[in-house]
Structure 1
Amino acid sequence: MTEIVSEASVTSPPQGKIMLVGIGPGSFAQMTHRAVEAIAEADVVIGYVTYIKLVADLLEGKEVIRKGMTEELDRAVHALESAQAGKKVALISSGDAGVYGMAGPTYEVLFQAGWTPDSGVPVEIVPGTSAINACASLVGAPLTHDFCSISLSDLLTPWPVIARRLEAAAAADFVVALYNPKSGRRTQQIEQAQYLFLRHRSPQTPVAVVKSAYRRRQAIVFTTLDKMSDCDIGMLSTVLIGNSNTFVRDGLMVTPRGYANKYDMQGDGSAREGEKRGRSLSTGLLGWMANLHADFAEGISLTQLAQLHHLPADYLELVLRTPLEEEETPGADEAEA
């Protein structure tokens, strides 16, 4: 006689999961709904001791594994082992797990262990508000134009690599957020960053130093590039350096988007002479290419043009070999400012 076993009587082993959770600045109000949900769903919560404290109210009844500042790989290994044992794991990072967070180290550990997305433990990345966004929201609108972030920590990155990135960002006029700007042992990095920026930026360039954004000891200081390194800066600080157009007014740091390049901001807001609404600037790519071709045709050398535009000569040579074309009129769904 054949025994019939119902599906309900068969117990399959629980499937583990790793959730890489960005908890934002640390304030419960700044966490995403999914971040809170993921921690609630987890059997095990793993994180740096300070981050564990920030979510202490959410950890009742859970296995909690606290790790030190330099134990990132240990956190990832514990997460994998717990997930392989059938547990759901929330591996938490402040800010966003993918921005100087645990997402990268965890994937490195997983791949080294032979993990693949199809055959291994499921992994979910839960995004969070990074320090650059949190700090910017507290000081105004400094990121309205192109920006980048650079970590001054040389624990894992050679200083010449960091210095080249600082030099390039300063020369390119990015708004820059400096992460990990200073610690008890690393005191010179912020001073050398300041030196590199002063080679390209005005000493009066606005700078905001934000400490412990959205946390209990939050502090905000507005200063200038030439006085930046004199501020109280530590590992809980993020330093925002403006570009050549950034200004501070009424306690707000603002980087213009560039509307004044195209529109009469003091008048009726109409397009300036030579500009058209919904079309690239006259100095945009196609207009600039036309002017470059004309200047070259008039006898200005490639070397002179490279110096004039601060661009590599081989790039300008490529542009000069590119046929000129007219800009198409955008449709309603393509039109920008």
Structure 2
Amino acid sequence: MSGRLVVVGLGPGNPDQITPEARGAVGEATDLFGYGPYVERVELGAHQTRYASDNREEISRASAALEMAASGRHVAVVSGGDAGVFAMAAAVCEAIEHGPQAWRGIDVSVVPGVTAMLAVAARIGAPLGHDFCAMSLSDNLKPWDVIEARLRAVATAGFVIALYNPISRGRPWQLGNAFEILREILPATTPVVFGRAVGRPDERIAVMPVGEADATLADMATCVIIGSAETRIIERDGLPPLVYSPRSAGMLSR
């Protein structure tokens, strides 16, 4: 008899930001699969077993979880943030599409979580208050020229841009190149928000204009939000600034 598989987003790292639905789904599972640092966030019950793997093993992780679910187990695959945003929900779907026919009969569900861009935006104000997009700067699964073309397109169209996977040891140059592209299109004063590990003890937030944006402030725990030409900063005496994108973007000059 086929078991169940649930894909769960654990939020950006603060235990208070795990939704009750996600907490319940993880607690009901017998077997938990995930990238090591994410699955280690879960406190195991006596009925549970943890299976940790490397960050670049998404498809093999999904396949192992599906195989176990097909044997009748109740399996949870966990992700940081939201499982459907550059995370394991897509990997599970891909594994099902290309895997054995039996996997299509597994009871699969996805539980949403608080993704990094929402946590960063909430901490700084409302930079996602108007139209925005999310992009990954990783070129592991798409070529860099595609990333460049998309950056130019969305910046020209006036979208606020949330960048995931902005930089790593293996590709330390990509965020800097992205800023160079954006400086050709956006006003130099356009706000950039660096939100690192929001909600965790090592949280760090920095705001600066794109003309001065320093790529070395980011790492793989950072989500970078680049405003549109209409995104604003409200300076406040003795308090952090508020960054927001007006709801009426595109109409200010009419």
Give me the TM-score of the superposition, normalised by structure 2.
Answer: 0.92
C-alpha separation between the residues in 1 aligned to 2:36 and 2:100? 29
1:75 and 2:61 equivalent? yes
The Cα shift of 1:53 comes to 2.2
> Residue 257 of structure 1 aligns with which residue?
247
C-alpha separation between the residues in 1 aligned to 2:185 and 2:24? 46
Q: Is the 8 A contact 1:246 1:255 kept in 2?
A: yes
Identity %: 37
> Residue 106 of structure 1 aligns with which residue?
92
Show structure 1 runs of 4+ deviating over 3 A. Answer: 58-61, 114-117, 259-262
Call closer, same or farther: CA 1:46–1:259 in 2, change over 3 Å: closer
C-alpha separation between the residues in 2 aligned to 1:195 and 1:259? 24
C-alpha separation between the residues in 1 aligned to 2:109 and 2:166? 30
Q: 1:151 aligns with which of 133, 136, 140?
A: 136
The Cα shift of 1:45 comes to 0.5
Q: Which runs of 5+ in 1 are unaligned?
A: 1-12, 263-282, 284-337
Call closer, same or farther: CA 1:168–1:54 in 2, change over 3 Å: same
Of 221-230 and 153-162, the range deviating more from structure 2 = 221-230
Letter in 1 for 2:126: A
Q: Is the 8 A contact 1:27 1:54 kept in 2?
A: no
The Cα shift of 1:212 comes to 0.5
| Higher CA-based Rg | 1
More strand by share: 2
Q: Which runs of 5+ in 2 are unaligned?
A: none
Query: Higher relative contact order at CA 8 Å, sep ≥6: structure 1 or structure 2?
Result: 2
Q: Is the 8 A contact 1:39 1:58 kept in 2?
A: no
1:164 and 2:149 equivalent? yes
Q: Is the 8 A contact 2:79 2:88 kept in 1?
A: yes
Give me the TM-score of the superposition, normalised by structure 1.
Answer: 0.70
Alignment deviations for residues 20-48 of structure 1 (CA, whole Å, 9 cap, x no partner): 10111122211111100111110000000
The Cα shift of 1:261 comes to 4.1
Q: For 1:70-219, list aligned pairs within 5 A.
A: 70-115=56-101, 120-219=105-204
Task: Tell me how many residue pairs correspond in the alignment.
Answer: 248
Q: Is the 8 A contact 2:136 2:166 kept in 1?
A: yes
1:50 and 2:40 equivalent? no
1:23 and 2:10 equivalent? yes
Letter in 2 for 1:253: V
C-alpha separation between the residues in 2 aligned to 1:248 and 1:31? 30
